[in-house]
A and B are shown apart, each in its own frame.
Chain A
Amino acid sequence: MTTTENPSAAAPEVGRDRRRKEDRRLITGRTRWTDNQALTGLLHLSVVRSPFAHATIKGVDTSAAKQVPGVVAVYTAADIGADQVQLPCAWPITKDMKAPQRPALAGSRVNFAGEGVAVVVARSAAIAKDAAEQVEVDYEELEPVLDMEEALKDGATLVHPEIGTNANAQWVFDSGEAGSGGSVAEALQKAESDDDQIIVRRRFRQQRLVPVFIEPRSTVVDPTGEQLVMWSATQVPHILKTMLALVLGLPEHKLRVIAPDVGGGFGGKLQVTPEEVMTLLVAQKVGKPVKWTETRSESLLSAHHGRDQIQDLTMSVTKDGRITGLDVKLLADMGAYLGLVGPGVPILGAFMFNAIYKIPAYRFDCTNVFTTKTITDAYRGAGRPEATFGIERLMDEVALELGMEPMEFRRKNWIKHDEFPYTTVSTLTYDTGNYEAATDQALQMFDYDGLRREQQERRRRGDVKQLGIGISTFTEMCGLAPSRVLGSLDYGAGGWETASIRMLPTGKAEVVVGVSPHGQGHETAFSQIVADQLGIPFDDVEILHGDTQSSYRGLDTYGSRSLAVGGIAVVKAAEKVIEKAKPIAAHMLEASEGDLEFTGGKFTVKGTDKGVGIGDIALAVFAAHDYPEGIEPDIDAHATFDPENFSFPHGTHLCAVEVDTETGFVQLYKYVCVDDVGNVVNPLIVEGQVHGGLAQGIAQALFEEAAYDDQGTLLSGTLVDYTLPTAADLISFDTANTTTASTTNPLGVKGVGEAGTIASTPAVVNSVLDAIRHLGVKDIDMPTTPYRVWSAIQNASGHAGRGDEANVASPGAGLGSTASDISKGDTQGGHL
C-alpha cells in the first residue's frame, strides 16, 4: 500500500480561475453538435410552415413534392398522427386554466405564422427543402388576434374557439389575503385622502424577444435499435425523455435522449418542441434514422419567444419617500399555445416585483392571453427581468415625482444588511445580502458624482450629445427550486437535482450529473468542487452529462440552478463516497473508524502518520480481496439534493449613455455592476456569465424586438431584421463582486446565469431617459432605437416628426406607446 501526497491539498480548487476543460474540443472543431450526427442511411426532414397567422387548412396537396427525385415521403399531420398529439404544458397555474391542444403539426387550423403543416423526408436536406416548396396547402384565412387588450374584449375573435376565450388564466397574489402584508386597496385608498402621500401610475411595455441561441435547433432520431435514441439540441434531455413517454405513450425504458454539445439555450431550448415529436413520429414511420435541422429563419419564426407583457403599475408613497403600497396588473402574451412552462413564466414575477424593497402592501394580478403569434416561454430570467424592469423603472419615476435622488429613494426603502434573513411581502425569505455594500462599491467604481457633474456641464452647454445615468438595484430568485414550493405553485415536477460519483480503480473519478450544460462550464466548475471534496487532482475528474443512458435521473439546466442545486448534489455524493470509504479505510489501517479523519484526499489515524488515500481505497474495493464483513465492496455514491430555499443573488448596476439629440443614437458610455452571487467557485466563469447576461439585457433595452405586422407576420424573421448586438455595439463592462454567502447550501453559493440580464435592462432605459428628460421626454418603449429616441425628442419639443407618433411604439402591439398618468396633482407631463 502506498500513500500519496495530494498535490491540491494546499490550494483549494474552489475559488480558482481555472481555464475550462470544455474548451479544447470547442476551439479545435472536434465538436458533437446534433447536426453533426451522420448515421448510416440517415434521411433529412424539412417542414412546410404556414405563412398565415390564423387560417383553416382546406387541403394539402403533396403530389408534386413526392415526384421530386430523392424524396422518400411527404407527410401531412394526419399521416403520422401529428395532429392528435398534445404537446405538454408542465405548469397549469390555476385549476381552471384554459389549455388548447398543441399538435406537433397542424391538422385543420394554423394558429401562428410559422406553424408546421407537413413534412418532407428526403435523401438530403437540400432535396427536402426543395420539395417542401412544392407542397401546396389550401388555406382559408381567419382574423388574426394580435392585441392582448382587444383579445380580452367581448366579441373578440378567438384564437381557439373551442375553449371559448382568449384568456388562458388569471393568477392573483394579494398580501392582505396571504397575511404577508396589508391590503393594497386599503393602502391606495388611504393614500388618496392623505396629503402626505402621492400615487404614481405607469404603464410599461415589455416587448417580445427571441432567445437566439447561436446553434439552431436540431433533432436526430434513430429508431433502429432496441431503444429509440434521440439526439437533440436541448437544455432538458431528462424532461424531454419523460415527456415523450407521457405524450406519445411510449415505454420510457425504450427511450434514450442525448443532448450532445449544445450551442446555447438561454431558456430557448427549455421546451418539448413540435419538431422533436414530429421527428420521432417520422422516424417510427419510415423505420430509418432521420434528422431535422432548422434554418435560422425557421428558428426565429417557430422556436419560442420570450417576455411580451403590458404592465400597469401603481405605487403609493409618502412624500418623504416611504413606499406604502404596490399594485401590479399584468397582461402576458402566451402566443398561440402554451409552452412547457409558458404560463408560469410571468407568475415568477409575482415574487420579484417587490424586489429588494420593504413594501407593506402588495398585490399582483396577471392575466395570460392567447394571440395568433409564436408561443412565449422561458428566456434568460423568465419573469424576473420583466418584474425587475417594472419596479426599477417605477422607482425612478416615483423618485422623479418626489423630487428625490433616485438612489436615495431606493436606499430609503431597501432591506438593510442587518435585517436578513428577511421575509418579503410576497412570502419569500431572503437569506443573505448586503445592498449597501454592493451599491457603495458600484458608485465608487462608476464615479457617480463625477458623471453627474459631467451631465450637468453638458446640460448647461446644451451639448448635442447629452449624458444620462441609470440605476438598477436588483435581486432575483434562482436555483430552481425547492420541490415543495413548486408543488404549492402547481408545477408539474420537483426541483431537486442528482449526482453520482464513480470511483475508478486507478483513483480517478467519473461524476455523472443530472444538470445539462450548454455553455456554462459545468465540467470545469464541478471538477473543482469534486477535487476539493475528495482531495484528488482537478484533472482526475471527468464530468458526464446529457445522456439519459449514463445520467438517468435529473431535471436539467435552467433558472440558474446548476451550481446552487446540481453542484450541491455533487457535494452530497462526495460526502457519501467518503462515508462509504471510511470503514474500508479503518479496516486497511487496522484502526477504529472513530480515530480516522479525512483531509486532503486521505484518511489518517489521528495522532499518527498512518494514512490511506481515497484512490487506494478505490483500488482495494476493485480487487475486493480483503474488506470488512457486512459491507459492499464499493465506494461509489449517488445523491439527490432538494434545496430548502431559492438563492437570492443581488447587485447594483449603473449605466451611463450618450444620447445624440440630433439623431437619437444611443451610445453606451460606461457600465459598472457589482453583483453578490455568494461564494464563487470559478471567478472566470462568473465574470463570463455576467458579461453575457449584460449583453442580452442591454440588447433588450436598445436593439431587439420580435415585431409583427397587422396580419400577424413576423417582421423580424431573419438576423438582418432581428438585431443582435455585435462587438461594435457594446463596450467593455466594469464588473466586480461583493460576497454574502448563502446560508441555505453548504457551498454558500447563489446563481449567476441570469443576473446580468435581469439587472441591466432597466439601468439602460433609465439612463436613456435621464439623458433627455430635460427635453420633455417622459418615456420611450423598448428597444430605444434611434428612430424612437429621435421621435420622442421631436414630439416633446413640439416638432412632431412626420406625424407618425404611433410608430414609436411596438409595431403591431396596437397600444400606441405606454400611457401613464398621475392620479393626483399635476405631476404628469407630455408623453410619448
Chain B
Amino acid sequence: MARIRTTVDGLVYEDDVEPRMLLVQYLRERLGKTGTVIGCDTSNCGACTVHLDGLSVKSCSVLAVQANGSEVLTIEGLERDGQLHPMQQAFHDNHALQCGYCTPGMIMQSIDLLGENPDPSEQEIREGIEGNLCRCTGYQNIVRAVQDAASKMKPGSAPAAESGAKQTVAGGGA
C-alpha cells in the first residue's frame, strides 16, 4: 500500500492505495466519483479523461500514486454554485451528447483543447478531440459545442476549481 494525498474537485483526500491502482479506479471505487467512467482497456476511448494539474489525462493511463500531491479535476467539479462551466452549457445548447457516456471525458478534453488553443478551427477541434470516441453523435454537434464555448470563454480562463481553496477530507479505509 502507498499513502497518497490528492486534491480532487477542490477537496483534499488522503488514502492508502495499492501501487497498481489506476487513477480512474481510485476516483470511482474509493472516492465515489462515478461521473468519470471507463469505456475501454486500451486507452483509446477517452471516456475517463480528467484534468491532472490543469492538463487532460486519460485516468486509465495514470496510476493513483502518480496523482500524489497533485490536483485532479473531474466532470463533477466543473459546476460552481449551480453555474455550469461554459463547456457544459455549450454541450447542452448544441445537443452535443446523446447517451452521454463519452460526455464527461469529451468535455474535459475540450476544455483542455481550448486552454491550448482558444480559437481553434473546425479541423483543429476534430484533431484535438480525436483521442475521445463518441458512438452516438457523429461528432458534428460536439465540434459545434466546442466552437460555441470558444466564442464564450475568454482566452486563458481556467475553471475555478483548478485554482480554488481546498478542504481536507480524512483518508478512507481500504
Q: Write the residues of chain A forming the contact surface with B, with a CB cutoff of 8 angstroms.
A: 19-20, 22-31, 33, 35-36, 38, 124, 126, 212-216, 261-264, 266, 295-297, 518-521, 684-685, 687-688, 691-696, 718-720, 724, 726-730, 732-733, 756
Choice from B42, B95, B125, B134 contacting A685 with Cβ under 8 Å: B95
What are 27 of the A-B contact pairs (CB < 8 Å)? A25-B100, A27-B100, A28-B79, A29-B34, A29-B74, A30-B76, A31-B34, A31-B37, A214-B45, A215-B99, A216-B39, A263-B37, A264-B98, A297-B42, A519-B99, A520-B98, A521-B98, A691-B141, A694-B138, A719-B40, A719-B42, A726-B139, A727-B134, A727-B142, A727-B143, A728-B130, A732-B143
Contacts of A24 in B (CB 8 A): 92
Residue contact B101 to A264, C-beta cutoff 8 Å: yes
Nearest CB to that of B133 among chain A residues?
A: A724
Contacts of B25 in A (CB 8 A): 126
User: Smallest Cβ distance from A724 to chain B, in angstroms?
Assistant: 5
Residue contact A216 to B100, C-beta cutoff 8 Å: no
Residue contact B138 to A695, C-beta cutoff 8 Å: yes
Residues facing A in B130-162 (CB within 8 A) are 130-143
Nearest CB to that of A294 among chain B residues?
A: B41
Contacts of A35 in B (CB 8 A): 34, 37-38
Residue contact A214 to B97, C-beta cutoff 8 Å: no
Interface-lining segment among B51-59, B64-72, B102-110, B164-172: B102-110
User: Smallest Cβ distance from A262 to chain B, in angstroms?
Assistant: 7
Residue contact A728 to B126, C-beta cutoff 8 Å: yes
In the complex, A733 Cα to B102 Cα: how many Å?
Answer: 21
Contacts of A23 in B (CB 8 A): 91-92, 97, 100
Nearest CB to that of B139 among chain A residues?
A: A727
Most-contacted residue by chain A among B40, B44, B104, B125 (CB, 10 A): B40
Contacts of B126 in A (CB 8 A): 726-728, 730
Residue contact B44 to A27, C-beta cutoff 8 Å: no
Chain B interface main SS type: loop
In the complex, A34 Cα to B30 Cα: how many Å?
Answer: 17
Extra 8 A-B pairs, beta carbons < 8 Å, given A296-B42, A688-B136, A719-B133: A124-B29, A213-B99, A214-B136, A262-B99, A264-B98, A728-B127, A728-B130, A730-B126
Nearest CB to that of A732 among chain B residues?
A: B140
Contacts of A295 in B (CB 8 A): 40-41
Q: Which 8 A-B pairs have the closest CB atoms?
A: A29-B35, A519-B99, A26-B100, A263-B101, A695-B138, A691-B138, A719-B44, A296-B40
Say if the beta carbon of B114 comes within 8 Å of chain A: no
Say if the beta carbon of B47 comes within 8 Å of chain A: yes
Residue contact B35 to A28, C-beta cutoff 8 Å: yes
User: Smallest Cβ distance from A377 to chain B, in angstroms?
Assistant: 17
In the complex, A20 Cα to B131 Cα: how many Å?
Answer: 26
Say if the beta carbon of B6 comes within 8 Å of chain A: no
Choice from B79, B92, B99, B103 contacting A19 with Cβ under 8 Å: B92
User: Known contacts being A264-B101, A519-B99, A719-B40, is A214 close to B135, with CB within 8 Å?
Assistant: yes
In the complex, A29 Cα to B34 Cα: how many Å?
Answer: 7
Say if the beta carbon of B93 comes within 8 Å of chain A: yes
Residue contact A30 to B135, C-beta cutoff 8 Å: no
Nearest CB to that of A698 among chain B residues?
A: B138
Number of A-B contacts (CB under 8 A): 178
Say if the beta carbon of B173 comes within 8 Å of chain A: no
Residue contact A214 to B102, C-beta cutoff 8 Å: yes
Contacts of A25 in B (CB 8 A): 100
Say if the beta carbon of B78 comes within 8 Å of chain A: yes
Contacts of B92 in A (CB 8 A): 19-20, 23-24, 27
Q: Write the residues of chain B forming the contact surface with A, with a CB cutoff of 8 angstroms.
A: 18, 20-21, 25, 28-29, 32-42, 44-45, 47, 74-76, 78-79, 84, 88, 91-93, 95, 97-104, 107, 122-123, 125-127, 129-143
Residue contact B138 to A214, C-beta cutoff 8 Å: no
Most-contacted residue by chain A among B28, B91, B103, B127 (CB, 10 A): B103
In the complex, A297 Cα to B38 Cα: how many Å?
Answer: 12
Choice from A33, A297, A719 contacting B45 with Cβ under 8 Å: A719
Most-contacted residue by chain B among A26, A212, A695 (CB, 10 A): A26
Choice from B34, B78, B100, B107 contacting A519 with Cβ under 8 Å: B100
In the complex, A210 Cα to B99 Cα: how many Å?
Answer: 18
Choice from A19, A30, A729 contacting B35 with Cβ under 8 Å: A30
Nearest CB to that of B142 among chain A residues?
A: A727
Nearest CB to that of B127 among chain A residues?
A: A728
Contacts of B38 in A (CB 8 A): 35, 216
Contacts of A212 in B (CB 8 A): 135
Residue contact A214 to B44, C-beta cutoff 8 Å: no
Nearest CB to that of A24 among chain B residues?
A: B92
In the complex, A22 Cα to B103 Cα: how many Å?
Answer: 12
User: Known contacts being A691-B137, A719-B133, is A296 close to B100, with CB within 8 Å?
Assistant: no
Contacts of A27 in B (CB 8 A): 75, 84, 88, 91-92, 97, 100, 103, 107
In the complex, A403 Cα to B152 Cα: how many Å?
Answer: 54
User: Smallest Cβ distance from B57 to chain A, in angstroms?
Assistant: 17
User: Known contacts being A214-B102, A215-B99, A695-B139, is A29 close to B40, with CB within 8 Å?
Assistant: no
Nearest CB to that of B9 among chain A residues?
A: A29
In the complex, A727 Cα to B45 Cα: how many Å?
Answer: 12
User: Known contacts being A19-B95, A719-B133, is A688 close to B101, with CB within 8 Å?
Assistant: no
Residue contact A264 to B136, C-beta cutoff 8 Å: yes
Contacts of B139 in A (CB 8 A): 691, 695, 726-727, 730
User: Smallest Cβ distance from B60 to chain A, in angstroms?
Assistant: 10
Residue contact B47 to A214, C-beta cutoff 8 Å: yes
Residue contact A692 to B130, C-beta cutoff 8 Å: no
In the complex, A691 Cα to B142 Cα: how many Å?
Answer: 11
In the complex, A720 Cα to B40 Cα: how many Å?
Answer: 10
Nearest CB to that of A212 among chain B residues?
A: B135
Choice from B75, B98, B122, B143 contacting A688 with Cβ under 8 Å: B98
User: Smallest Cβ distance from A548 to chain B, in angstroms?
Assistant: 21
In the complex, A732 Cα to B121 Cα: how many Å?
Answer: 13
Nearest CB to that of A521 among chain B residues?
A: B98
Nearest CB to that of A214 among chain B residues?
A: B101
Nearest CB to that of B75 among chain A residues?
A: A29
Contacts of A756 in B (CB 8 A): 138
Residue contact B135 to A724, C-beta cutoff 8 Å: yes
Residue contact B41 to A296, C-beta cutoff 8 Å: yes
User: Smallest Cβ distance from B29 to chain A, in angstroms?
Assistant: 8
In the complex, A520 Cα to B98 Cα: how many Å?
Answer: 6
Residue contact B76 to A518, C-beta cutoff 8 Å: no
Contacts of B39 in A (CB 8 A): 214-216, 296
Nearest CB to that of B79 among chain A residues?
A: A28
Nearest CB to that of A18 among chain B residues?
A: B95
Nearest CB to that of B91 among chain A residues?
A: A27
Residue contact A28 to B76, C-beta cutoff 8 Å: yes
Choice from B45, B91, B135 contacting A692 with Cβ under 8 Å: B135
Contacts of A519 in B (CB 8 A): 98-100, 136
User: Smallest Cβ distance from A178 to chain B, in angstroms?
Assistant: 39
Nearest CB to that of A719 among chain B residues?
A: B44
User: Smallest Cβ distance from B75 to chain A, in angstroms?
Assistant: 4
In the complex, A687 Cα to B47 Cα: how many Å?
Answer: 24
Nearest CB to that of A268 among chain B residues?
A: B135
Residue contact A20 to B95, C-beta cutoff 8 Å: yes
Nearest CB to that of B34 among chain A residues?
A: A36
User: Known contacts being A27-B84, A519-B98, A727-B129, is A692 close to B42, with CB within 8 Å?
Assistant: no
In the complex, A29 Cα to B79 Cα: how many Å?
Answer: 10
Nearest CB to that of B93 among chain A residues?
A: A19
Residue contact B143 to A214, C-beta cutoff 8 Å: no
Residue contact A688 to B141, C-beta cutoff 8 Å: yes
Contacts of B129 in A (CB 8 A): 726-727
Contacts of B97 in A (CB 8 A): 23, 26-27
User: Smallest Cβ distance from A695 to chain B, in angstroms?
Assistant: 3
In the complex, A264 Cα to B140 Cα: how many Å?
Answer: 17
Nearest CB to that of B90 among chain A residues?
A: A27
User: Known contacts being A214-B99, A214-B101, A262-B99, is A732 close to B122, with CB within 8 Å?
Assistant: yes
Contacts of B102 in A (CB 8 A): 214
User: Smallest Cβ distance from B2 to chain A, in angstroms?
Assistant: 15
